[in-house]
C-alpha cells in the first residue's frame, strides 16, 4: 500500500492511496482526512486503507483519478518534531545574550 498527501484540503494536505505503478490515486477522506490522522488511528485505518488500495489496483475504487506528481505534497507536511537549533551559531549567540543578565545577577549575589 502506498499513501500520499495532495496539496489540497488545508495545511496537512489530503490523504490519498496511490497505485503501485504511481499512475492512479483515490482520496481516502472517508477513512482519514490526512496521513497524520490515519497514523494516529492506525489500528482502525490500516485495514480500510488496505481494502481501498486493493480496490484501486482492481480498478473498482470509486473516485480514482490519474495522479500527477506535481499535485503531491510532502507525505506529512506538518510532521510533529523537536527541532534543536543549538548547533547554529546565531541561536547560540541569542541564547548567551538572553542568559547573560541572569548570569551577572547570580554572580554578584554570591559575592
For the chain, the domains span: 2-81
- 0.75 exceeded by the pTM? no
What pLDDT was estimated at residue 30?
A: 96
Q: What is the pLDDT of residues 21-71, one digit of tens each?
A: 999 999 999 999 999 999 999 999 999 999 999 999 999 999 999 999 999
Question: If residue 26 lies in a helix (H) or strand (E), which one and from where to where?
Answer: strand 24-27
**Whole-angstrom distance, CA of residue 108 vs CA of residue 29:** 61
Strands of 24-27's sheet, edge to edge? 2-6, 14-18, 24-27, 65-66
Cell numbers at residue 104, please? 551577572
Tell me: pLDDT of 80 over 90: no
Question: What are the beta bridge partners of residue 2?
Answer: 18
Amino acid at each position: 500500500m502506498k499513501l500520499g498527501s495532495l496539496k489540497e484540503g488545508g495545511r496537512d494536505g489530503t490523504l490519498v492511496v496511490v497505485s503501485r505503478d504511481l499512475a492512479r490515486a483515490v482520496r481516502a477522506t472517508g477513512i482519514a482526512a490526512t496521513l497524520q490522522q490515519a497514523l494516529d488511528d492506525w489500528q482502525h485505518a490500516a485495514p480500510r486503507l488496505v481494502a481501498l488500495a486493493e480496490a484501486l489496483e482492481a480498478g473498482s475504487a470509486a473516485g480514482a483519478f490519474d495522479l500527477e506528481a506535481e499535485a503531491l505534497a510532502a507525505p506529512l507536511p506538518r510532521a510533529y518534531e523537536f527541532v534543536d537549533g543549538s548547533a547554529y551559531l546565531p541561536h547560540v549567540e541569542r541564547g548567551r545574550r538572553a542568559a547573560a543578565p541572569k548570569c551577572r545577577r547570580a554572580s554578584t549575589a554570591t559575592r
